[in-house]
Amino acid sequence: MSEEEAPARGRMSVRGAAFLGIGSMVGAGIFALLGQAAVFAGSAVWLSFLLAGLVTMLLAYNVVKLGIRYPSEGGLVEYLRQGFGNGRLLGIACWLGYAAAFVIVAAMLAVSFGSYAVALFIGDDGWSGWDNVFASLLIVVMTLINTIGATFVSRVASVMVIVLLAVFSVFIWVTVSDVDWSMLSFGGYPSFSKIIASIALTFFAFLGFGVMTFTVSSLRAPERELPRAVALALGLTTTTYVLISIGVFGTLTVDQAIGYGETAIAEAARPSLGDAGFTLMAIAALIATAGATNGTLFAAGGLADYLAELRQFPPLLGRGSRLGRHGGLVVTSIIVLVLANFVDLSAIASVGSACALLVFLLLAVAGYRLRSETRANGFIVLIGFLVTAVVLAFFAVDTLRNAPETFVGIVAITLLSVLLDFVWKRVRDRPGTVAPAESG
């Protein structure tokens, strides 16, 4: 880091960086996932979240080391570029990551928002299409906000986190104190392989941890403070997820949680807090999913622009797009609208999480190759790779047996990423194609 950049340091504390990560993880993931996770892990969802948190911590070690060594607006993409170069493998990984960590995440959040909006404002007797209306409205509104500027959202991010943690604290206090522990007995858990496979889904709720690597230039001593911020954020997030899961599955049966789906947390608050508890959790869910959708679309637009500069994505997705300087955001929002309205939520979550884990496998390989430059412990990076590979293997076997359509979806998105990269590179490399300036 040059001396000229030094004055930029000190704008963010460890707590501020941790809150940024918590805000990107806590709330939206748990609201959207709980019912779906129960399909895999039953009443052992709490254990699935605990194990997913541990896997994330292993992967985060590598990401933090890469972030400190290669601070960049490109984030995870820059780390892959450093590890593999700006070639075809990077392109495939970028399409896959863009689909998993941004498009699919935003679609799932919008669907969850729609479900809570219907439960809060319409009820069970309304038109069946209301959830699509609310989900679509959220995507359109958040797209417009991002084209105008989302500065005000970042200003209230910490406040939002505090509000959500306060609401969760109330929920945990009233539900855990009334838990029926027999509903959480080990005898009712599914097989070990099912629980391991479920980690590929619950990992989805931790995807936001990567945003903390963007705080490197704002920390006084990133080598010391970034690891502390990531550990604090993941520790609080994992603890929150585990306690909420215990509260829900110690109150609701597995079948009830699956049936309630996205609104399972709010329904679990009814026995102790009545309708007021349901309303409180529903409002918290709307805030969490709306804020996370906004942040995801904002990040997707920035990432698409960065990749267009690298020539890994077409100019249509960059600032020079025929759709205007927000071309990446507009295209992303259109794709998200289609997914949110026409793809089943469980398929969105499973496919997105599995594809994201594939990208983190590549990041682990990149981190291992760069370990001499990042000064990372190669053994820890390798363990993170192996654990992630085992989780993906169990998940692949389970989905192939019990949900072949989801397995096909994962393969299809991976192949689509290969195809998109191949087609775009053929078009890009044709004689006469004007090449935009590459990002440094």
- pLDDT tens for 171-222 read 899 888 888 899 998 888 998 888 998 888 888 888 778 777 766 767 788 8
Residue 213 lies in a domain: yes
Q: Which residues contact 59 (CB under 8 A, 6 or more apart)?
A: 360, 363, 364, 384, 388
Structural domain including 37 reads 8-101+153-278+345-425
- Span 238-245, average pLDDT: 92
Identity at 337, one-letter amino acid code: L
First to last CA, the chain: 15
**Residue 420 placed within a domain:** yes
pLDDT of residue 1 exceeding 60, the answer is no
The answer to whether 35 and 261 have CB atoms below 8 angstroms apart is yes
Q: What integer pLDDT is reported at residue 270 of this predicted model? A: 87
CA distances from residue 15 to 12, 212, 228 in whole angstroms, order as listed: 8, 11, 9
Lowest mean pLDDT among 155-164, 170-179, 365-374: 155-164
Q: How confident is the model at residue 276 (pLDDT cuts 50, 70, 90)?
A: confident
Short-list 12, 68, 89, CA closest to 362: 89
- Classify residue 334: in a domain, yes or no: no
Mean pLDDT of 368-394: 93
pLDDT of residue 4: 40
| Average confidence (pLDDT) over 151-166 | 66
Measured CA to CA, the distance from residue 323 to residue 337 in angstroms comes to: 17
- Establish if 129 belongs to a structural domain: no
User: 392-417, pLDDT tens digit by residue?
Assistant: 888 888 888 887 887 888 888 889 99
333 in any annotated domain: no
Residue 290 forms part of a structural domain: no
- For the chain, the domain total comes to 1
- Pairwise CA distance, residues 421 & 440, whole Å: 21
The pair of structure tokens assigned to 103 is 């498009």
| pLDDT score, position 102 | 82
Does residue 327 sit within a domain? no
Higher pLDDT, 93 or 151: 93
CATH number at residue 244: 1.20.1740.10
Is the pLDDT at 73 greater than 80, yes or no? no
User: What integer pLDDT is reported at residue 434 of this predicted model?
Assistant: 52
Q: Is 64 helix (H, G, I), strand (E, B) or coil?
A: helix
Q: Is the pLDDT of residue 224 over 80?
A: yes
Q: Across residues 315-340, what is the average pLDDT?
A: 85
Q: Is residue 440 situated within a structural domain? A: no
